Amino acid sequence: MTEKADGKKPVKILFVCTGNTCRSPMAQAVLKDILKREGLGGNFRISSAGLGAAAGEPMQPDAKTALGRLGVKAHAHKSRRLTAAMLKTADLIITMTLAQKQALAGGAKIFCIAELTDGRDVPDPIGQGARVYELTALELKRKLDIIYKDVLSK
């Protein structure tokens, strides 16, 4: 990875969920939007992966629609299975549930989104319809605003 003009490397944040077609790519898009709005997009590299992801799957259509309703542009996305290399190179890893964090065997840079926000996991919306995706997108936006304010902007 190339360094920024000021010589500092961007902070690498990795979102992790199960299939990498709903929550983690939605979180990726929402955080990128927040950072862009704050003029900090170049300071971070945001990515996502799934514990049980099949490689190359697109973001769920309801997830894209939910992001659009928030005014967040859904990026071109192809699912990726989480690898040891991704874990090693990330500076901060955020899972959607405590069970996902536990599956990664912890570590100082691995957090469940609940630990950084309100104590609640982000449940998987897969197969539950457009309204559940919209609620998930709103929940991610709320939680990522907290993470930006309390963790990333400091």
* Three-class DSSP category at 12: strand
Give me the sheet containing 110-112, strands edge to edge.
Answer: 44-50, 11-17, 92-95, 110-112
Is the CB of residue 11 less than 8 Å from the CB of residue 49? Answer: no
- Which CATH number does 11-148 carry? 3.40.50.2300
Locate the domains of the chain by residue range. 11-148
User: What pLDDT sits at residue 33?
Assistant: 96
- Helix/strand number for the chain, H first, E second: 6, 4
The catalytic residues are: 17, 23, 124
How far apart are the C-alpha atoms of 127 and 86, rounded to whole Å?
28
Is the pLDDT at 72 greater than 50, yes or no? yes
Is a pLDDT exceeding 90 seen at residue 89? yes
What pLDDT does 7 receive? 57
